[in-house]
Amino acid sequence: MSHEEERPEARNATRRSDALRRAALYATLAGLVAFYLAPIETGLVTSIKTSEAVRNTLPFLPPGLSGFTLDKWAFAFDALSHGMVNSVLFTIPSTLLCAVFGSMAAYGLTLVDWRGQIAVLALFVAGIFIPYQAVIIPLSEFWSIWVELDERLAFLWALPLLEEHHATILELIVTHTAYGIPICTILFRAQYQTMSWEMIEAARLDGASLWRIYRRIVLPLSVPMFAVVFIFQFTQIWNEFLFSLTIIRSVSDPAASVTLILSGLGTALEGVDFPLRMAGAFIAALPTLIVYVLFADQFAEGVRV
Amino acid sequence: MRDELAKTVERLRDRLREVRESRGTGDRVTETDGGQEVGADEERAVGTDRRVVERSAFRRLLDHDAVQSAPFWLPPFLLMGFFVYAAIGWNFAISLTDYQGFGEPDYSVLDLDNYGAMLSDPAMWAATRNTFALLVGFTLVCLVVGLVLAILLDREVRFGRTLRTIYLLPMSLSFIVTAQFWMWMYNFNFGIVNQLLGVVGLGPYSWLGNPDLVLGSVVFALIWQFSGYTMVVYLAALRAIPDDQYEAARVDGASTLRMYWRVIVPQLKPAMVSASVVLVLFALKAFDFLYAIWGYRPRRGADILATKMVREAFNKQEWAYASAIAILLFALSLAVIAPYLYQQHRQGNL
């Protein structure tokens, strides 16, 4: 009888400590949210401030009515808009090409079993991890001295909609595709490894060609992985900077990508124009932010491998 | 569509079973299988007729899976191989010349002078030291912060997915974008960091100007950007741990902290290894972030091998010397990847 009276109290005590623990957990999680969003939040409120308001208001508070302006956004948009067009022009084709090549390579190296494929595969995996510094000198040499696309394709530039700087865009497409293939191959391979071996083997015994198996069985099953690869590769290529710097070289080049223009935006002798830079940063990040917010799960999956 | 696929699969499975059974009773299925034992038999059998042997050898080569699957993996492999491996070889060749300025490299005189020059360049040593400090500091802290985040989000947390999305958000941004944000965060007069420290009576500090602080400031910003990545890797590994292990530990009366430390964390080792490989490589690529803040010349104390390499090449046109530094960077990353790949291969994960 006596311990039956104690029980509710003990239960109450554990319940209270449980509640306390949960409160502490959520407080920590909220604090972390503040930490991860702070640089973005301060950037956003700063981007709509006048230079006056930047000096007079706290960095994480929005400006008052008198200190509010969208001028910086307008200016940044003007500066970055053709860079956005260029970035779209090379990001989307190379994302698609990477995904297709990656899926094909993963199929040939995973679902078709042959000796020596591990060695080829190891070269693909190692390709993910190569620091780009190790290739950029030959790369810029290759495009600027050996290939000279802009001269070779000179007959094209008279056509409507095509301009000479599209040669540089084409170079970027090929470059990004080549360096994106390894990661896409490994992403697709991770999925193909979980596919039923029996199924493929049986289809082959039935006389289906490799191409037919790929088109009829493998491709329909890889649609979700294509989504992952598109999302991931799109953000990677859009955000890339080193190839832009070394292949395009100049911020004022008509082919300049959005990251390249952003890196030179708002620097003057008088100092850095922070509201302008913040507005520029948001405009440059907008496509990836939208893609990320809409497809966070796919992005997380792409990152994980 | 799915139903149809399932039906096909079922049919194919039946067929496979049939074939296996017939193989068991001794019926050879030569026309569909180019395997080893069949090949050996054939060679013995047709030894009398040369022409048949040759043709069948050629047929066998064509039928071989490596050749059959080549249309799939060879084109991507060639494209990737040219831009990655041939470029590295080419880069090594350039590093042996004395190519500088404008014009083209002269491959007639090759020597290791650039590697010698690297050894006697004091800036090289500083950059190497900074690279290692950044690698180690960044990787370790990211592993720890990511682990804490993953454990916090692991069990029965409301809005878990939203929180995960927020913590991973910085990773979706370009280095060039995050560098803008952190320049403002670290701003001497108006930045949040100094304002917050001012509340408790510290500072202001020149985070991006003081040679003693600058590397730490950069590492902190990079941790902000990539700790979400380690969190995602750990979360995936945590999800793979069966629930009963949590239950068992709880029934045993272990506190949450003890349970994680004793039971759960040891199982995260493979995730930890693969995450640290990727983090080291992220850190080797931190060039973009530093370039966005300072251009070709980072503040003293923040120069790493990656920035020095690009500066020597594209700012000073010392191509040959820069490619020697690039080879050093490549060797460093190889020292990380090669053991990892070997280990993965041995465990059959490749």
Alpha helices by DSSP H, chain B:
2-24, 36-45, 50-63, 65-68, 70-81, 87-95, 113-119, 122-154, 160-168, 175-185, 192-199, 214-239, 243-251, 256-259, 269-284, 287-294, 305-310, 319-346
Question: What is the predicted pLDDT for the residue at B8?
Answer: 65
Q: B71 to chain A: which residues are within 8 Å by CB?
A: 108, 210-211
Strand partners, A49: A68
- Residues making up chain A, counted from first to last: 305
Rounded Cα gap, residues A109 and B68, in angstroms: 11
Q: B157 to chain A: which residues are within 8 Å by CB?
A: 25, 29
Minimal CA–CA distance to A165: which of A150, A180, A178, A155? Answer: A150
How far A78 CA lies from chain B's nearest CA (Å)?
A: 17
Is the CB of B180 inside 8 Å of chain A's CB atoms? yes
Chain A: residue whose CA lies nearest to B342 = A122
Tokens representing B44?
Answer: 């013995």
**Which of the pair, B129 or A145, is modelled with greater confidence?**
B129
**Residue B191 three-state SS:** coil
Q: Which residues have a Cβ under 8 Å from the Cβ of A297 and sit 6 or more positions away?
A: B161
Rounded Cα gap, residues A147 and A269, in angstroms: 38
∠ CA B177-B182-B183, nearest 5°, is 95
Chain A: residue whose CA lies nearest to B30 = A205
**Which of the pair, A143 or A160, is modelled with greater confidence?**
A143
pLDDT exceeds 60 at position B263: yes
Report CB contact under 8 Å: A46, B184.
yes
Task: Indicate the average pLDDT of chain A.
Answer: 87
Report CB contact under 8 Å: B169, A121.
no
Q: A202 to chain B: which residues are within 8 Å by CB?
A: 9, 12-13, 15-16
- My answer on whether A55 and A160 are in the same domain is no
CB A241, CB B175: distance < 8 Å: yes
pLDDT exceeds 70 at position B1: no
CB A278, CB A41: distance < 8 Å: no
Q: Is the peptide bond before B204 cis (omega within 30 degrees of 0)?
A: yes
Q: B105 to chain A: which residues are within 8 Å by CB?
A: 141
Q: B326 to chain A: which residues are within 8 Å by CB?
A: 131, 133-137
Question: What is the predicted pLDDT for the residue at A1?
Answer: 43
- My answer on whether A107 and A253 are in the same domain is yes
How far B98 CA lies from chain A's nearest CA (Å)?
A: 14
Is the CB of B226 inside 8 Å of chain A's CB atoms? no
Rounded Cα gap, residues B219 and B138, in angstroms: 6
- My answer on whether A131 and A209 are in the same domain is yes
Rounded Cα gap, residues B225 and B124, in angstroms: 27
How far B323 CA lies from chain A's nearest CA (Å)?
A: 7
Report CB contact under 8 Å: B79, A115.
no
Average pLDDT over every residue of A160-164: 79
pLDDT exceeds 70 at position B51: no
pLDDT exceeds 50 at position A37: yes
Q: Which residues have a Cβ under 8 Å from the Cβ of B124 and sit 6 or more positions away?
A: B118, B308, B325
Question: For residue A4, what pLDDT band results from cuts at 50, 70 and 90?
Answer: very low
Question: For residue B145, what pLDDT band results from cuts at 50, 70 and 90?
Answer: very high
Report CB contact under 8 Å: B12, A214.
no
| CA B157 from centre of chain | 30
Q: Provide DSSP, A105-153.
A: HHHHHHTS--TTHHHHHHHHHHHHT--GGGTHHHHHHIIIIII-HHHHT
Report CB contact under 8 Å: A178, B185.
no
CB nearest B84 (choices: A104, A130, A142): A130
- My answer on whether A164 and A93 are in the same domain is yes
- My answer on whether A32 and A80 are in the same domain is no
Question: What is the predicted pLDDT for the residue at B30?
Answer: 41
Least-confidence region, from A11-20, A42-51, B328-337: A11-20
CB B174, CB A285: distance < 8 Å: yes
Tokens representing A233?
Answer: 């590769």
Chain A: residue whose CA lies nearest to B317 = A137
Report CB contact under 8 Å: B172, A289.
yes
- My answer on whether A153 and A51 are in the same domain is no
Strand partners, A271: A268
CATH of the structural domain B121-346, one choice from 3.40.190.10, 3.40.1360.10, 3.40.50.1100, 1.10.3720.10: 1.10.3720.10
pLDDT exceeds 50 at position B47: no
Boundary-marking domain end, from A13, A48, A67: A67
Question: What is the predicted pLDDT for the residue at B18?
Answer: 66
Number of domains in chain A: 2
Chain A: residue whose CA lies nearest to B69 = A108
The 10 Å Cβ neighbour count of residue B56 is 16
- In sign, the C-alpha dihedral spanning A97, A193, A108, A128 is positive
Provide the domain limits for residue A47.
Answer: 2-67
Report CB contact under 8 Å: A292, B70.
no
Minimal CA–CA distance to A225: which of A86, A110, A69? Answer: A110
Boundary-marking domain end, from A16, A33, A67: A67
**Residue B105 three-state SS:** coil
Question: What is the predicted pLDDT for the residue at B19?
Answer: 60
By CB atoms closer than 10 A (0-12, 13-18, 19+), residue B34 is middle
Indicate the residue type of B244.
D
- My answer on whether A183 and A222 are in the same domain is yes
Report CB contact under 8 Å: B180, A217.
no
Q: Which of A129, A171, A183, A253 to mutate to test the interface with B (most CBs of B within 10 A)?
A: A129
Average pLDDT over every residue of B219-230: 93
Question: What is the predicted pLDDT for the residue at B141?
Answer: 95
Q: Which of B172, B223, B334, B345 to mutate to test the interface with A (most CBs of A within 10 A)?
A: B172
Is the CB of B234 inside 8 Å of chain A's CB atoms? no
- My answer on whether A150 and A36 are in the same domain is no
Report B:113-142 residues touching A (Cβ under 8 A): none
Report CB contact under 8 Å: A123, B326.
no
Rounded Cα gap, residues B330 and B325, in angstroms: 9
Tokens representing B60?
Answer: 């066998």
- My answer on whether A118 and A171 are in the same domain is yes
The DSSP code for B261 is I
Question: For residue A154, what pLDDT band results from cuts at 50, 70 and 90?
Answer: confident
Boundary-marking domain end, from A67, A86, A121: A67
Q: Provide DSSP, chain A.
A: -HHHHHHHHHHHHHHHHHHHHHHHHHHHHHHHHHHHHHHHHHHHHHHTB-HHHHHHS-TTSPP-GGGB--HHHHHHHHHHHHHHHHHHHHHHHHHHHHHHHHHHHHHHHHTS--TTHHHHHHHHHHHHT--GGGTHHHHHHIIIIII-HHHHTGGGTTSTT--TTHHHHHHHHHHHHHHHHHHHHHHHHHHHTTS-HHHHHHHHHTT--HHHHIIIIIHHHTHHHHHHHHHHHHHHHHH--HHIIIII--TTSTT--HHHHHHTTTEETTEE-HHHHHHHHHHHHHHHHHHHHHTHHHHHHHHH-
Rounded Cα gap, residues B107 and B323, in angstroms: 14
Chain A: residue whose CA lies nearest to B324 = A134
Report CB contact under 8 Å: A28, B152.
yes
Rounded Cα gap, residues B344 and B261, in angstroms: 25
N-terminal to C-terminal alpha carbon distance within chain A: 58
Rounded Cα gap, residues B232 and B106, in angstroms: 48
How far A160 CA lies from chain B's nearest CA (Å)?
A: 30
∠ CA A164-A166-A172, nearest 5°, is 135
Q: State the number of CA atoms in the 13 A half-sphere of A237 facing the CB.
A: 34
Report CB contact under 8 Å: A136, B76.
no
- My answer on whether A273 and A289 are in the same domain is yes
- My answer on whether A39 and A120 are in the same domain is no
pLDDT exceeds 90 at position A94: yes
Tokens representing A99?
Answer: 């995904």
Average pLDDT over every residue of B175-193: 91
Max Cα-Cα span within chain B: 96
User: pLDDT (tens digit, 9 = 90+) per residue, B280-314?
Assistant: 877 877 899 999 988 888 888 889 999 999 999 99
Report CB contact under 8 Å: A131, B330.
yes
pLDDT exceeds 50 at position B35: no
User: pLDDT (tens digit, 9 = 90+) per residue, B7-25?
Assistant: 666 766 676 666 656 554 4
Q: HEC profile for B280-338?
A: HHHHHCCHHHHHHHHCCCCCCCCCCHHHHHHHHHHHCCCHHHHHHHHHHHHHHHHHHHH
- My answer on whether A97 and A228 are in the same domain is yes
Torsion angle of alpha carbons B152, B153, B156, B159, nearest 10°? 130
Sequence ranges of the domains in chain B: 30-68, 77-115, 121-346
Question: What is the predicted pLDDT for the residue at B326?
Answer: 94
User: pLDDT (tens digit, 9 = 90+) per residue, A187-210?
Assistant: 899 888 888 778 888 888 888 888
Torsion angle of alpha carbons A34, B235, B345, B347, nearest 10°? 140
Counted across chains A and B, CB pairs separated by less than 8 A come out at 315
Q: Which residues have a Cβ under 8 Å from the Cβ of B30 and sit 6 or more positions away?
A: B38, B42
Rounded Cα gap, residues A133 and B208, in angstroms: 24
CATH number at residue A121: 1.10.3720.10
Is the CB of B254 inside 8 Å of chain A's CB atoms? no
